[in-house]
Amino acid sequence: MKQLLSIFESFGSTLELLVRAGSYVGTLPRQRARFIEQCYLIGYTTLPIVAILSFFIGSVLALQAGYSMQNFGAKQFIGSLVGLSMARELGPVMVAILLAGRVGSAITAELASMKVYQEVDALVTMNIPPARMLVLPRLAAALAMVPVLAIIADLVGWFGGAIVAKYVAFISIEPESYFAVLRRYMVFKDVLNGLIKAESFGFVVVLVCCNIGLNTRGGPREIGAAVTRAVVVSLILILVLDYFITKALM
């Protein structure tokens, strides 16, 4: 019962934070520098790991598909399988998971440490709302950067699949036919659905991580616990939301 109450409390405080941050959206133009800094942290610094993982996920997908599909002569469809899987599911989910692990944890650690060491209290007494200065630029940067990361994840994943398809002996499909099949069985809506999912996951991850950070009380030990909780809650939410958004977009 106590845990259930705590879940409802967290949900309530997250919504309250969202409303508060949203009420300051008009201040975003004069927070340009903070927005750009967060875009750099969320987008640019996450890009290399997104690219590496996408490349190998696309490659492994092509390898597994090629191995399984060669037995019933369907390996020419690898392009569509890799393309659809990356765009509709693996790209957005992988970007969101990386965001939770890399950016979300850093956000929680930073905000929790600011809370524990009274920097957040100092902001409040200066009449500078933390939702405006600490949360809004991060949410806006997530909205701007996550779709870009998802598109790059899709493209790199497709490219990884194409390389495996060409150079692995038992597959041996030329990139031209790989991408021709990919184009034939994919529509723009597949990519768009993936981007909607990525955008939703990214926004929720950043919001939840900000809220957990700002609600941290205690000392250094609680900062570590807050980071762990933020990552775990984010991962659960990504997978739960994934089901419902996928269902809604079908």
Partner 1 sequence: MPACSPTRNPFTAQETPAVGVAIEGLSKSFGPRLVLDNITLSVEPGEIFVLMGPSGSGKSVLLRHIVGLEAPSAGRVTINRQDATAETTREHVRMAIVFQAGALFNSLSVYDNLALYLREHRVTNEAGIREKVMRALQILSLEGAAEKFPSELSGGMKKRVAIARALVMEPQLMLYDEPTSELDPVMSATISEIIASLKNEYHVTTVVVSHDRDLALNIAERVGILMDGRLIFLGTPDQLRQPEDPQVANFLYPKIDLKNPRYKQLET
Tokens of 173: 């499909």
Question: In sequence order, which ranges of the chain are alpha helices (DSSP H)?
Answer: 2-23, 32-39, 47-69, 78-85, 91-98, 105-116, 119-125, 130, 136-167, 175-185, 188-214, 220-249
Compute the distance between CA of residue 135 and CA of residue 31 in angstroms, rounded to an integer.
11
Task: Please identify, using beta-carbon distances, which residue of 90 and 140 lies nearer to partner 1.
Answer: 140
Binding mask 111-130 for partner 1 (x = CB under 8 A): ---x--xxx-xx-xxxxx--
Based on the shown chain and the rule CB under 8 A, indicate whether residue 133 belongs to the binding site for partner 1. yes
Compute the distance between CA of residue 5 and CA of residue 7 in angstroms, rounded to an integer.
5
Task: Please identify, using beta-carbon distances, which residue of 126 and 169 lies nearer to partner 1.
Answer: 126
Task: Please identify, using beta-carbon distances, which residue of 1 and 33 lies nearer to partner 1.
Answer: 33
Based on the shown chain and the rule CB under 8 A, indicate whether residue 19 belongs to the binding site for partner 1. no
Based on the shown chain and the rule CB under 8 A, indicate whether residue 228 belongs to the binding site for partner 1. no
Task: Please identify, using beta-carbon distances, which residue of 136 and 195 lies nearer to partner 1.
Answer: 136
Site residues (CB under 8 A) for partner 1, limited to 63-122: 114, 117-119, 121-122
For the chain, what's the residue count? 250
CA distances from 236 to 37, 97, 154, 164, 241 (A): 28, 10, 23, 32, 8
Name residues whose C-beta falls within 8 Å of residue 21's C-beta, 6 or more positions apart in sequence: 131, 132, 135, 136, 139
Instruction: State the minimum distance, in angstroms, from the CB of residue 221 to partner 1.
Output: 17
Instruction: State the minimum distance, in angstroms, from the CB of residue 95 to partner 1.
Output: 26
Number of residues that bind partner 1 (CB under 8 A): 12
Task: Please identify, using beta-carbon distances, which residue of 68 and 118 lies nearer to partner 1.
Answer: 118
Compute the distance between CA of residue 96 and CA of residue 102 in angstroms, rounded to an integer.
10
Instruction: State the minimum distance, in angstroms, from the CB of residue 8 to partner 1.
Output: 19
Instruction: State the minimum distance, in angstroms, from the CB of residue 126 to partner 1.
Output: 5
Based on the shown chain and the rule CB under 8 A, indicate whether residue 5 belongs to the binding site for partner 1. no
Compute the distance between CA of residue 70 and CA of residue 155 in angstroms, rounded to an integer.
25
Binding stretches for partner 1 (CB under 8 A): 114, 117-119, 121-122, 124-128, 133
